[in-house]
Every structure is written in structure tokens, then in C-alpha cells.
Structure 1
Amino acid sequence: MLELSIQVLSKGDVPDVDELVIDAANHVVGRLASTVATLALKGKRVVIVNAEKAVVTGDFNSILEQFKVKLTIVRTHYNPERTGPKTPRRPDRVLRRAIRGMLPYDKQKGKAALGRIKIYLGTPASYYNKPKYVVKGAYFHMIPGSPYTTLEDIWRSIDPKTWAVWRESYDKFKKAIEKKGEQK
């Protein structure tokens, strides 16, 4: 088993590293997005791993219904036959869209900040042994009975075929990484 170092990132902290690797597991999507947007505007490169484990607070059925409404019912005024706007389904793209909404992406500094952010499903091999940060203000403390769901659960309910393909390949990748770690 590989040992991972985890560091806590408080509000207003800007670590003195080239690239921040943030583990999105058990982080509330909106709070994480605002912190990442602030760091990117300050000039830091931010990598978010495990985007599928980010948390959306609220009842699962109401959240799923909101996503389905965005995907199917919303139509444009000038072309009612076409659905739009384009709504992301994958967790990494949902999180990227949330971060983009907190940036002035129509201005040059917002475009540059969005370019400094990378979001991944799972943990790529290149970031597997790097120290990960946990954002203190965005971390979701699980209280028994509080309603929440992960972005992966929403994705599995909306697009099960794509989710199944990804899950199978990611499980194979994790087994290969663990096997390689045991051999060393």
C-alpha cells in the first residue's frame, strides 16, 4: 500500500509550490470550486483528482431531477426544437463548469486562470505519489442523516453506459498500480 501525505489548506492560504494537487473526495462542489477559482486567479496551477468523489449536498432524488431537467426540458427561446445549453454529465466536467462559473472567464485573466486548472477522474499515475491538499472550508463532515450524494452517483444515474465503461477501466488501472507498488 502506498503512503500518501495529506496537507490541510485553510482559507486564504497560498502554498509556495508550483502545482497544487487537491483531492476532491468528500469536498462540497461549490465550496471547492470557489477556493480553486481564487487560487487560479492568484496564479497557482491547480490539479484536482478524484472529481467523481466530490459531494453535492441535498436529497439525491431532487438533485437528480434538477440534472434531468437541465438535460432534457430546457430549450432555447430562438430554437425550441433544439435543447440547450450544453450541460456536462461527467463529474470532471461538472466540476470544471462550477469553477468556470466562479471566474471572469470572458476576460483575459479568467481565461488564463481556467487554463491553469486540470481536473481528473480518479488519480492519474503521475499524481499518485504526490502530496495532496485538503481544503478545510470545503470538506464535508458527514453527519448521520444529512442528505448528500457524489458526482459519480449522479453520473451513474444519468449516463450508466459511459459510467460502466469508465469504472471498469479505472478498476483495472488501480489493480495495475497496486500490483506495481507491491513488486517494489
Structure 2
Amino acid sequence: MVTVIDGRNAVLGRLGSVVAERIMNGEEIVVVNSEAIVVTGERDVIFADYKARVDRGDTTKRKGPFYPRRADLLFKRSVRGMIPWTTTSGRDAFRRLHVFVGTPKQFEEVDKEKVDFAMKKVTGKYTTLGAISKFLGSKVR
């Protein structure tokens, strides 16, 4: 059975830790609306941090680490850092995670779950994964 989670207004780290724990327990997770996931902190600092990560991997010389620009792949990469990626159990768990920008047609009618732990009210400075991916030059919006 597939669990569909709506990422709208969820905090990135909190949602990622819940998703990582659940995929490691064998659950298949689909996250929709990844462009609306919230990253807390100063906007300029967040943009500089993600820009440094993208620039670290040199794509012209086939040297890594390669860091994504799209909002859905940014979320997957953050979850990847929360699981034991180098083990077979971690790789199998990562394959059980599917993330989408927006809501695909096959998941429009499905009941979407909101993770209460990740829905912390953000009162300070924040930005979204969609804004970060737009800043990084992603063509998917």
C-alpha cells in the first residue's frame, strides 16, 4: 500500500526525518507538492548554502558530488542523507520514496496525509524549495 503525503507548508527537516523513518520500516511513500515544502532560516543564507552545494560538484569534469536543482530531487537528496545510503537496506528504502512537484493526476483523488510533526507554524524567516530551485536555475516549476 502506498501512503501519499502532502508536503505543502511542511518543514523540510521534520518531514524528511518522518519520511526516512517510515521508508526504512518498509513503507512506500509518495510526497506531492514538494515545491511548497518550507525551509526555515534567512533567505540569503539558505540560497548561498544551496548554491555552494551545487557548485561543489563539477559537471564538466565528471567529478561529484552532484547536487540537484529541482525541488522534488532536493527533497529526495535531503532524505537520502537521513538513511544509511551505503547499505543495501538503505538503497532499497530509498527506492520506496517517490516525490513529485505538484500533484500528478493519479494522486489527485487519493486522500493525502498531513504529517502533524512537520506542520510546525513558521513565524520567522523562511523560504520554499520551489524558490530555491528557481534560484538554482531549475526549469521545472
TM-score, length-scaled by structure 2: 0.91
The corresponding residue for 1:90 is 70
The corresponding residue for 2:53 is 70
Contact 2:54-2:67 within 8 A present in 1 as well: yes
The corresponding residue for 1:156 is 134
What 5-or-longer segments of structure 2 have no aligned partner?
none
Letter in 2 for 1:92: D
| Structure 1 residue 93: Cα displacement | 0.5
The corresponding residue for 2:103 is 123
Q: Secondary structure at the match of 1:36?
A: helix
- Which residues of 2 match residues 1-184 of structure 1 at below 5 A? 18-72=1-55, 74=56, 84-143=64-123, 146-159=124-137, 162=139, 166-167=140-141
**Alpha-carbon distance between aligned partners in 1 of 2:44 and 2:24, rounded to the nearest angstrom:** 35
Look at both structures and tell me which one has the larger radius of gyration over its CA atoms. Answer: 1
**Alpha-carbon distance between aligned partners in 1 of 2:82 and 2:15, rounded to the nearest angstrom:** 11
What 5-or-longer segments of structure 1 have no aligned partner?
1-17, 168-184
TM-score, length-scaled by structure 1: 0.70
| Structure 1 residue 115: Cα displacement | 0.9
Q: Secondary structure at the match of 1:20?
A: strand
Q: Secondary structure at the match of 2:94?
A: helix
| Structure 1 residue 49: Cα displacement | 0.2
Contact 1:23-1:49 within 8 A present in 2 as well: yes
The corresponding residue for 1:11 is none
Aligned length: 139
**Alpha-carbon distance between aligned partners in 2 of 1:68 and 1:111, rounded to the nearest angstrom:** 26
Shift of the 157–75 alpha-carbon distance from structure 1 to 2, 3 Å rule, reads closer
Report the aligned-residue RMSD. 1.7
Contact 1:55-1:140 within 8 A present in 2 as well: no
> What does the per-residue CA deviation read over 1:81-112, in whole Å, with 9 as the maximum and x for residues that have no partner?
77642111101101001111111121121111
Runs of 4+ in 1 over 4 A off after TM superposition: none
